[in-house]
Chains A and B, each alone.
Chain A
Amino acid sequence: MEFAFPEYNLRLMAPEIFLFLWALLIIAYDVLTKRKSETTAGYLALAGLMITGLILGFTGTGHGFGNMFVSDTAAKFFKIIFLGSAFMAIGSSFGIMREKIVNHRGEFYGLILFSTVGMMFLSSSNELLSLYIGLELTTIPLFVLAAFFKDDKLSVEAGIKYFIVGAFSSALLLYGISFLYGLSGTTDLVQMKINIAITHLTFQNIGVILILAIVLVVAGIGFKLSLPPFHQWVPDVYQGSPTPVAAFLSVGSKAAGLIAFAKIFVNGLFAFHHPDMAPNDWGRLVALLAVAAMILGNTVAIRQTNIKRMLGYSSIAQVGYIMIGIVAMNALGMAAMGFYIFAYMFANMGAFAAVAIVEDKTGSCEISTYSGLARTSPLLSATFAVFLLSLAGIPPLAGFMAKFYIFAAGIQAAQHDPGLYWMYWLVGIALLTTVFAIYYYANIIKQMYFAKEPSPHKVTYNFPALTVLLIGLAGLFVFGIYPEPVLHFASGIASSFGIIP
């Protein structure tokens, strides 16, 4: 048997290796120093993320370790999103460092960085084995981070719920991957595409077990993406975890789930998204789940009284919109998906930063706490309102452009291919739920600005949290008015999946 050493190309992995070593540095720093400053570990983590982003800018494209590590445009785009969401999550965590986390500050940041390293490896993998391990490296630190407030019952409950759901979905995903492996004889996604196509041509059908494999993989990744009916964990986990961890979950872990989903389905099961391939097609199944996400997320969010639960349900709906881009399976769809998660990162991380600032001052996450906040804390209310408006999709913010591109991609797919007529329904429902969603976003803005009495609280800002708010604000305005550069960069995602525009 030939045992050729594959080309390692370690230079491509420089950002991940650096971030991993930096995480070890932060943990070692925290263990080895006697007089603990509150903020040094946090600033170290922020610095490490910035340096990693810089290194990422200088990393070339190519393959390493066979197909197990691929550095291409899609990987780089998503790595920027992961680094950005980790940056903003850490930025909003300085408030809880003062009193709530005294003992394990270094480990807190180290675990966030480990999770980010896992996400980066995940987005670079074109092989199911490294994809699965990257996915596990992403979620295992998050289990710990969700339960980080060890004496707070809500946090521990969030931790165990997230753990059970996460491990369960991992087992389902694994079982589905085993059938994909059995059908194609390989776990390399590109090779799997070819093998399944060959099998399909030779035997004239691909075998009914593919349906089960598709359902299992959708269920496995659907839990991470919080697609209904696998969304039950989101409100409890978002409410119970520390706010920066909930923020990181809402953007980083969802983006990781998205890239994993796209790799397995858009790349590996490329040929099976069209209704012609029924019953093996995943396009309509995923579209159905996306519709459920949009409807359920937007309707249940109205009844929430806790801001974190509301943001959790809103994130369920946002993922529904992003799925339209994936199901459209065209170049604009992939670019729109990338742009959407980019805009969503600014808006959601900013919103959670604002929630963290208010929670730090008032100790509560109820929506009633925000009543009348505009008069005592104008900067916070204004930025929070901007974030909510972008999530709702109001021009000229980035959220509007994101929704526009996603809907355009869906309609374009339906126009090109008469077999995809149900995409019209999909986009129609999405438009309807968007209008519906404006209600509960506007409700919070109304509470802040138009309450009868001013709020008794006046929030104080720490420097990193303020920076996160301003970054979010700037990002939404700049990319709302001038989305072309990001869209151009994101259009490279399609070529990574073999979709030629």
Chain B
Amino acid sequence: MTDGSQVGVIFWFLSFVILISGFMVVSLKNIFYCALFLVLCLFSVAGIFILLEAEFLAAAQVLIYVGAVAILMIFAIMLTTDMASKEITQTNENVTVGVFVSVIFAISTILLIDKTSVWRYQDHDFSEGVTVTLGKLLMTKFMLPFELVSVLLLAAMIGAIVLARKERS
């Protein structure tokens, strides 16, 4: 029964990239560079998904998060900031409080995870194709969330268009 306590060198490399680029996202002054580091971070998270045998999820992450959400953010940055001017840079506020809260949160979470020993480990067999299984599950067991999420996307689309539209009058 493996509990994953041995992780390979790829994991260390990917997590290094994730944490460094994540840190860049939240602290760089130039907002456009932050968006680019966000893209790098999301790519690396997709790599972690591949390590965790979730290949479909990795592909979905790249397609949706990197391909749509991050691009949307870059568009929004281009539409709302003059890229050549100085106003693209900004400093953070409340840095000491923020550092305090997030460091305490991270340390306490890691300590609590470490001290918990009640995980019921189990070896899963993903050899028969994760994507096929996901597809079958989506059509049988998870049909209701599937349909609900399409309603959610419709509502989000209508809402975003209503908000972002320029009125003619």
| Residues in chain A within 8 A of chain B (CB atoms) | 1, 3-6, 8, 20, 27, 64-66, 68-69, 102-104, 107, 110-111, 114-115, 117-118, 121, 129-130, 133-134, 136-137, 140-141, 143-144, 147-148, 150, 182-183, 185, 199, 202-203, 205-209, 211-212
Bound together, the chains give a CA A168 to CA B56 distance in angstroms of 27
Q: Is the CB of A111 within 8 A of B155?
A: yes
Q: Is the CB of A140 within 8 A of B144?
A: no
Q: Is the CB of B117 within 8 A of A203?
A: yes
Q: Is the CB of B112 within 8 A of A212?
A: yes
Q: Is the CB of B148 within 8 A of A130?
A: yes
Bound together, the chains give a CA A102 to CA B162 distance in angstroms of 12
Task: Give 5 new A-B contacts, CB below 8 A, not counting A8-B143, A137-B155.
Answer: A130-B145, A133-B149, A140-B156, A183-B118, A199-B120
A65 contact set on B, CB distance < 8 A? 143-144
B149 contact set on A, CB distance < 8 A? 133
Q: Is the CB of A209 within 8 A of B112?
A: yes
Q: Is the CB of B118 within 8 A of A203?
A: yes
For B131-160 the 0/1 string (1 means CB < 8 A from A) is 001001100111111001101101110111
B115 contact set on A, CB distance < 8 A? 207-209
B151 contact set on A, CB distance < 8 A? 20, 114, 117-118, 137
Q: Is the CB of B152 within 8 A of A137?
A: yes
11 sample A-B contacts, Cβ–Cβ < 8 Å, listed by A number: A20-B151, A64-B144, A65-B144, A102-B169, A107-B162, A133-B148, A137-B152, A141-B155, A144-B160, A203-B117, A212-B108
A8 contact set on B, CB distance < 8 A? 143
Bound together, the chains give a CA A69 to CA B116 distance in angstroms of 33
State whether the Cβ of B119 lies closer than 8 Å to any Cβ in chain A.
yes
Q: Is the CB of A147 within 8 A of B163?
A: yes
A147 contact set on B, CB distance < 8 A? 163
Q: Is the CB of A206 within 8 A of B143?
A: no
Contact of B158 among A107, A143, A182, A207 (CB under 8 A): A107
Bound together, the chains give a CA A68 to CA B133 distance in angstroms of 20
Bound together, the chains give a CA A292 to CA B65 distance in angstroms of 39
Across the interface, name the chain A residue whose C-beta is closest to B152.
A137
Minimal beta-carbon separation of A121 from chain B (angstroms): 6
Bound together, the chains give a CA A121 to CA B128 distance in angstroms of 34
Across the interface, name the chain A residue whose C-beta is closest to B133.
A1
A129 contact set on B, CB distance < 8 A? 142, 145
Bound together, the chains give a CA A65 to CA B115 distance in angstroms of 37
Across the interface, name the chain B residue whose C-beta is closest to A124.
B144
Q: Is the CB of A133 within 8 A of B152?
A: yes
Across the interface, name the chain B residue whose C-beta is closest to A121.
B148
Q: How large is the interface on B (under 10, 10 to 19, 20 to 34, 35 or more residues)?
A: 20 to 34
Give B66-124 interface residues, CB cut-off 8 Å to A: 108-109, 112-113, 115-120
Q: Is the CB of B140 within 8 A of A4?
A: yes
A183 contact set on B, CB distance < 8 A? 118-119
Q: Is the CB of A5 within 8 A of B140?
A: yes
State whether the Cβ of B167 lies closer than 8 Å to any Cβ in chain A.
yes
Which among A27, A64, A114 has the highest number of chain B CB atoms within 10 Å?
A114
Minimal beta-carbon separation of B13 from chain A (angstroms): 24
Across the interface, name the chain B residue whose C-beta is closest to A210.
B116
With A4-B140, A137-B155 given, is the CB distance from A212 to B109 under 8 Å?
yes
Contact of A3 among B128, B136, B148 (CB under 8 A): B136
Across the interface, name the chain A residue whose C-beta is closest to B115.
A208
Q: Is the CB of B162 within 8 A of A104?
A: yes
Bound together, the chains give a CA A150 to CA B159 distance in angstroms of 12
A182 contact set on B, CB distance < 8 A? 119
Minimal beta-carbon separation of A127 from chain B (angstroms): 9
Minimal beta-carbon separation of A218 from chain B (angstroms): 15
Bound together, the chains give a CA A366 to CA B115 distance in angstroms of 54
Which among B118, B137, B149 has the highest number of chain A CB atoms within 10 Å?
B118
A117 contact set on B, CB distance < 8 A? 151
B148 contact set on A, CB distance < 8 A? 121, 130, 133-134, 137
Q: Is the CB of A205 within 8 A of B144?
A: no
Across the interface, name the chain B residue whose C-beta is closest to A147.
B163
Minimal beta-carbon separation of A344 from chain B (angstroms): 26
Across the interface, name the chain A residue whose C-beta is closest to B128.
A1
Bound together, the chains give a CA A1 to CA B152 distance in angstroms of 30
For B5-46 the 0/1 string (1 means CB < 8 A from A) is 000000000000000000000000000000000000000000
With A121-B148, A140-B159, A212-B109 given, is the CB distance from A6 to B141 under 8 Å?
yes
Across the interface, name the chain A residue whose C-beta is closest to B137.
A3
Across the interface, name the chain A residue whose C-beta is closest to B136.
A3
A136 contact set on B, CB distance < 8 A? 152
Q: Is the CB of A208 within 8 A of B120?
A: no
Minimal beta-carbon separation of B86 from chain A (angstroms): 24
Bound together, the chains give a CA A185 to CA B65 distance in angstroms of 27
A137 contact set on B, CB distance < 8 A? 148, 151-152, 155
B119 contact set on A, CB distance < 8 A? 182-183, 207
Q: Is the CB of B112 within 8 A of A27?
A: no
Contact of B162 among A144, A206, A207 (CB under 8 A): A144
Across the interface, name the chain A residue whose C-beta is closest to B146.
A133
With A6-B140, A207-B118 given, is the CB distance from A144 to B159 under 8 Å?
yes
With A182-B119, A206-B118 given, is the CB distance from A69 to B144 under 8 Å?
yes
- Going nearest first, the 4 A-B pairs with the smallest beta carbon separation are A144-B159, A207-B116, A207-B118, A65-B144
Q: Is the CB of A209 within 8 A of B167?
A: no
Bound together, the chains give a CA A103 to CA B162 distance in angstroms of 9
A133 contact set on B, CB distance < 8 A? 145, 148-149, 152
Bound together, the chains give a CA A203 to CA B128 distance in angstroms of 33
Bound together, the chains give a CA A190 to CA B30 distance in angstroms of 48
Bound together, the chains give a CA A129 to CA B144 distance in angstroms of 10
Minimal beta-carbon separation of A199 from chain B (angstroms): 5
Minimal beta-carbon separation of B49 from chain A (angstroms): 15
A64 contact set on B, CB distance < 8 A? 144
Minimal beta-carbon separation of B149 from chain A (angstroms): 6
With A68-B145, A212-B109 given, is the CB distance from A143 to B159 under 8 Å?
yes
